[in-house]
Amino acid sequence: MSLQDFLSTLDGLEEEASAAFETACDADTLEAARVRFLGQKSGALRDVQKRMGSIDKADRKTAGMRLNQFKSNVQEALENAKTRLGGDDSTGADPTFDPSLPGRRPSIGHIHPVTQTMTHLMEIMGRMGFEAAEGPEVEDPWHNFVALNIPEDHPARDPLDNFYLATAATGTNDRNVEGSQLLRSQTSTVQIRVMEDKQPPIRVISLGRVYRPDAPDATHFPMFHQMEGLLVDKNVTMANLKTVLRVFATNYLGDDVEIRFRPSFFPFTEPSVEVDFFWNGSWVEFGGAGMVDPAVFEAVGYDPEVYSGFAFGLGVERLCMRRHGITDIRDLYSGDLRFLQQF
Ligand code: DAH
């Protein structure tokens, strides 16, 4: 082979190899190109090297120098391509990526303050042996009124004070009570459902939504939550009621809270009281309570001569607002994250 042919073969190969390395788009195509040009067994370089022997002795030195130059140029093109594709390990990793930097924390919502409050209340009452019970939000008049000793002509059943369902129309339920279904106006409904279901002793609380057509203001909202409590056994007294509520209040609001009962009236308790807590300098009403009325026991088939019990119903939002210093109930339901994220 003439020196001239040898040199032009190398020129052509060098160009081809550089182009192949530059255009390699991933580790695999780059490796295939490396084998093709620099491979030990059958690479193009090897073929050219073999032809050195057929060159005139006088020209060998020139040929050898060009061959070395070829090797280093092609090797350099290969190294450049490797760097471009992400280094020797071929992971494609961005060299500007610093794996030791702390990650960006994804924002994953959090639990609504009213839900947090209910979980807390359930925990406190659970420690006193109260189990959680549930009832439907769409109720029939038997559970919302009749069994709770609220007769047909009672003002609490006024359509202006309740969300009766238009679609359910009127009908009779399994108790043959006439009237439309409604969104429950109190969690006292769950007292009836629990007592219909099982025999004393009973010790339950029920936390959930209730609905009343009140115009929203700082202390009213057409949907809110109540915590209902019911304890039925033999020889239950008003003193038991007061103790349970005091333990509850000190657990939830703090040791310096005081409790006060004011005489009141509810159709489903006799006697009935209004429950106030003295906290941070003022008395605040949190709900109603009393000894379960014998008429209620009769409605669910309990013998009022044998059993006695107490019940209470407290406003969950009030408790939540007092504890956290929230002054407007509407803030809880505005959906404004700047407010909600504080809890
Ligand atoms: N259900 C009553 C209301 O919504 C609150 C209440 C009062 C519940 C006395 C009771 C009770 O269990 O004994 O206003």
For residue 312, give the 3-state DSSP assignment: strand
Q: Can you name the residues that pair with 261 across neighbouring β-strands? A: 275
Q: Is the peptide bond before 271 cis (omega within 30 degrees of 0)?
A: yes
Structure tokens at 286: 């949190």
Among candidate residues 287, 250, 257, the one with its CA nearest the CA of residue 272: 287
The Å distance, Cα 268 to ligand 1 centre, comes to 8
Ligand 1 atom with the shortest distance to the CA of 292 = 13
For the chain, which residues score pLDDT lower than 70?
87-93, 167-178
Q: Is the peptide bond before 201 cis (omega within 30 degrees of 0)?
A: yes
Alpha helices in the chain, H assignment, sequence order: 3-23, 27-38, 44-51, 60-84, 113-127, 141-144, 188-197, 238-253, 294-300, 316-324, 329-332, 337-340
Question: So what's the pLDDT on residue 330?
Answer: 97
Question: So what's the pLDDT on residue 138?
Answer: 96
Cα 212 to Cα 214: distance, rounded to the nearest angstrom: 6
Cα 288 to Cα 311: distance, rounded to the nearest angstrom: 9
Question: So what's the pLDDT on residue 10?
Answer: 87
The Å distance, Cα 242 to ligand 1 centre, comes to 15
Structure tokens at 42: 């059958």
Assess whether the C-beta atom of 289 lies below 6 angstroms from ligand 1. yes
Cα 339 to Cα 242: distance, rounded to the nearest angstrom: 35
Question: So what's the pLDDT on residue 295?
Answer: 97
Cα 124 to Cα 130: distance, rounded to the nearest angstrom: 9
Instruction: Order the strands of the 269-279 sheet from edge to edge.
Output: 131-132, 202-211, 223-233, 308-315, 282-292, 269-279, 258-266
Assess whether the C-beta atom of 287 lies below 6 angstroms from ligand 1. yes
Assess whether the C-beta atom of 200 lies below 6 angstroms from ligand 1. no
Assess whether the C-beta atom of 269 lies below 6 angstroms from ligand 1. yes
Ligand 1 atom with the shortest distance to the CA of 288 = 7
Among candidate residues 186, 207, 189, 199, the one with its CA nearest the CA of residue 125: 207
Cα 70 to Cα 15: distance, rounded to the nearest angstrom: 10
Beta-carbon neighbour count of residue 288 at 10 Å? 22
| Residue at token pair 């006439």 | 178
- How would you classify the pairing of strands 131-132 and 202-211? parallel
Ligand 1 atom with the shortest distance to the CA of 269 = 13
The Å distance, Cα 281 to ligand 1 centre, comes to 25
Whose alpha carbon is nearest atom 2 of ligand 1?
313
The Å distance, Cα 306 to ligand 1 centre, comes to 23
Whose alpha carbon is nearest atom 3 of ligand 1?
186
Identify the structural domains of the chain with CATH numbers, from first to last.
3-91 (no CATH), 114-340 (3.30.930.10)
Assess whether the C-beta atom of 188 lies below 6 angstroms from ligand 1. yes
pLDDT, tens digit (0-9, with 9 covering 90-100), for 142-163 = 999 999 999 888 999 999 999 9
pLDDT, tens digit (0-9, with 9 covering 90-100), for 69-89 = 988 998 999 998 888 887 555
Question: So what's the pLDDT on residue 174?
Answer: 53
Question: So what's the pLDDT on residue 91?
Answer: 56
